Amino acid sequence: MTDPLMPASVAFREDGTPYSVLHDDIYHSAAGALAQARHVFLEGNALPRRWRDARTFTVLETGFGMGINFLTTWSAWRDDPQRCETLHFVSLEKYPMTRADLERAFDAVIDDPALAQRAHDLAHVWPALTPGTHAIAFEHDRVRLTLIFADAVTALPALDMRADAFYLDGFSPAKNPELWSPALIAALTRMANEGATLATYTSAGAVRRALIAAGFDARRAPGFGWKREMLVGRFVGAPTVMHDQNN
Nearest CA-CA partner of 199 in 40, 47, 36: 40
Residue 168 lies in a domain: yes
Measured at the CA of 169, the angle between CA 164 and CA 174, to 5 degrees, comes to 140
Region of 151 (left: φ > 0; alpha: ψ -120 to 50; beta: rest) is: beta
pLDDT at 25: 74
Residues 148 and 134: their CA atoms lie apart, in Å, by 6
Residue 121 lies in a domain: yes
pLDDT at 19: 73
Number of domains observed in the structure of the chain: 1
Residue 81 lies in a domain: yes
- CATH code assigned at 146: 3.40.50.150
Residue 241 lies in a domain: no
Q: Which pLDDT tens digit goes with each residue over 26-53? A: 766 655 789 999 999 999 999 999 999 8
Name every residue whose Cβ is closer than 8 Å to that of residue 194 and which is 6 or more positions away in sequence.
235, 237
- Structural domain that includes position 171: 10-234
pLDDT at 8: 85
Residue 2 lies in a domain: no
Residues 203 and 218: their CA atoms lie apart, in Å, by 10
Residue 242 lies in a domain: no
pLDDT at 34: 92
Region of 43 (left: φ > 0; alpha: ψ -120 to 50; beta: rest) is: alpha
Residue 244 lies in a domain: no
What is the model's pTM? 0.92
Mark the ranges of the chain whose per-residue pLDDT is less than 70. 1-3, 27-31, 171, 238-247
Residue pair 119/176 in contact (Cβ under 8 Å)? The answer is no
Residue 240 lies in a domain: no
Question: What phi, psi does 168 have (nearest 5°)?
Answer: -90, 100
